[in-house]
Amino acid sequence: MSLKTALVIIPTYNEAENIKPLLLSIIATLHEVTGYSVDILVVDDYSPDGTGTIVQKLAQKHRNIQLLSGKKAGLGDAYIRGLRYGLDQPKYDAFVMMDADFSHSPSYIPRLLRTLDQGYDYVIGSRYIPGGAIPDDWSILRILNSKVANLLARTFAGIGRTVYDATSGYKAIRTSSLQTIDLDNLRVSGYFFQVALTYAFNSKSKLQITEIPIAFENRKNGASKIGVKDVVEFVYCAYTLNPQSSARTFVRFCVVGISGVVVNLGTLTVLVRYFHISPLLGGAIAIETSIASNFLLNHVYTFRNDTGSSRQRLIHRFSKFNAMSLTGAAISFAVFSVLYKFIGLQYIIADALAIIPSVCFNYWASSTFVWKDRH
């Protein structure tokens, strides 16, 4: 069997204290790698602390170390530059991506590559599958932060059933599979890159994704480079990544629901104040007005990918939507009564809680019953 070649890509920004021991540690692990000769590429963004110079020096002694320097434009941009550099040289059969701060122990490199050889295209070093771990000393806030980011990414990307650690930066990729992915299309410069790449692999049904457990460790020296801008970009990218995701449809549905509340209150006020209609009749008209406006907005906005909207179908749908709204209101009222009367919650709290099951019911009924022809 001929020896394959892998390129380990390590992005760095101000990792002067970590990079030399890390590179030496990787080199020390390489004897455990079977079937691959391994090169290492450090993608440094002219780090002011001299990370690049340290790598350059090491590269003189170790022929498999290379340095790629560039302007600072975020983690995702650095990865794309590194991957492009690797793809331009036909010798690489696989890429490994990892952080420079010892959070990703080099000891997993052999297993990541072995798993590729089992026929997988994309192998993630995962903290969130059995056997994986995060450091013991993480605060609740840090754990929550990581889990929420992960959950957000998985649900909005619609990859929750394939991938449990969507934000992990430790992975191995088969080059021939990466060549089928349009890196230009990822359009992310920051930390969301990991999710965007995983999503892109997951969108190709032929490509096989898997995870191996890793124990994620605290960075050895220096500080994380994540900033507020990265968080904002992350949330925005998570939301826009997959327009078809049901999580995104649900957000649109909730936005419409809130607009319905405004329509309801507005109609009631106008009818009672300016048309002097009794509040009871006004309330009934206001409810139907908001049901109608919710219906129209859901039709053109929330479920806009639906097919077939002949007038007859629309009227049929509207009657279904009315039936659904009535049922939703009944559920809400039943739950409210239980919480208020039997459990004795304060009435506003009881009502606020009672809205939750009815929104869930309404969403479920809308997407499977009223607008079921979506594609």
The residues that touch ligand GDD, with contacts defined as CB under 6 A, are 11-13, 15, 43-45, 72, 74-75, 78, 99-101, 103, 146, 167, 169, 191, 194, 219, 224-226
Tokens in use for 35?
């079937």
Sheet architecture: strand order including 65-69: 65-69, 36-44, 4-12, 94-97, 171-174, 122-126, 209-213
Q: Which is nearer to ligand GDD, 99 or 306 (CB)?
A: 99
Q: How far apart are CA 325 and CA 331, in angstroms?
A: 10
Q: Which does 41 bind (CB under 5 to 8 A by kind): ligand GDD, Mn ion, none?
A: none
Q: Which does 315 bind (CB under 5 to 8 A by kind): Mn ion, ligand GDD, none?
A: none
Q: Considering the complex, what minimum distance in angstroms separates the CB of residue 12 from Mn ion?
A: 11
Q: Considering the complex, what minimum distance in angstroms separates the CB of residue 219 from Mn ion?
A: 4
Q: Considering the complex, what minimum distance in angstroms separates the CB of residue 207 from ligand GDD?
A: 21
Q: Considering the complex, what minimum distance in angstroms separates the CB of residue 179 from ligand GDD?
A: 23
Q: Which does 93 bind (CB under 5 to 8 A by kind): ligand GDD, Mn ion, none?
A: none
Q: Which is nearer to ligand GDD, 7 or 335 (CB)?
A: 7
Closest-by-Cβ residue to ligand GDD is 169
Q: How far apart are CA 253 and CA 374, in angstroms?
A: 15
Q: Considering the complex, what minimum distance in angstroms separates the CB of residue 201 from Mn ion?
A: 23
Q: How far apart are CA 306 and CA 366, in angstroms?
A: 12
Q: Considering the complex, what minimum distance in angstroms separates the CB of residue 306 from ligand GDD?
A: 35
Q: How far apart are CA 181 and CA 199, in angstroms?
A: 11
Whether the CB-CB separation of 177 and 207 falls below 8 Å is answered with yes
Count how many Cα atoms sit within 13 Å of the Cα of residue 118 in the half-sphere of its side chain. 14
Task: Please report the DSSP string for 316-364 in residue order.
Answer: HHHHHHHHHHHHHHHHHHHHHHIIIIIS---HHHHHHHHHHHHHHHHHH
Q: Which is nearer to ligand GDD, 75 or 207 (CB)?
A: 75
Of 210, 199, 40, which Cα lies nearest the Cα of 129? 210
Q: Which is nearer to Mn ion, 1 or 223 (CB)?
A: 223
Q: Which does 43 bind (CB under 5 to 8 A by kind): Mn ion, ligand GDD, none?
A: ligand GDD
Q: Which is nearer to ligand GDD, 68 or 178 (CB)?
A: 68
Q: Residue 28 class from Cβ within 10 Å (0-12 exposed, 13-18 middle, 19+ buried)?
A: exposed
Which residues of the shown chain bind Mn ion in the complex (CB under 5 A)?
A: 99, 101, 103, 219
Q: Considering the complex, what minimum distance in angstroms separates the CB of residue 99 from ligand GDD?
A: 4
Q: Which does 11 bind (CB under 5 to 8 A by kind): Mn ion, ligand GDD, none?
A: ligand GDD
Q: Which is nearer to Mn ion, 62 or 219 (CB)?
A: 219
Q: Considering the complex, what minimum distance in angstroms separates the CB of residue 28 from ligand GDD?
A: 19
Tokens in use for 136?
């013991």
Q: Which does 191 bind (CB under 5 to 8 A by kind): Mn ion, ligand GDD, none?
A: ligand GDD
Q: Which is nearer to Mn ion, 169 or 282 (CB)?
A: 169
What distances in angstroms separate CA 94 from CA 4, 86, 89, 97, one per listed residue? 8, 9, 12, 10
Q: Which is nearer to ligand GDD, 164 or 371 (CB)?
A: 164
Tokens in use for 176?
């021939």
Q: Considering the complex, what minimum distance in angstroms separates the CB of residue 160 from ligand GDD?
A: 17
Q: Which residue blocks in 190-306 are alpha helix, DSSP H?
A: 193-203, 228-241, 246-274, 279-297
Residues in the chain: 375
Q: Which is nearer to ligand GDD, 124 or 339 (CB)?
A: 124
Task: Please report the DSSP string for 103-155 in residue order.
Answer: SS-GGGHHHHHHHHHTT-SEEEEESSSTT-B--TT--HHHHHHHHHHHHHHHH
Q: Which does 78 bind (CB under 5 to 8 A by kind): ligand GDD, Mn ion, none?
A: ligand GDD
Question: What's at 82, amino acid-wise?
Answer: G
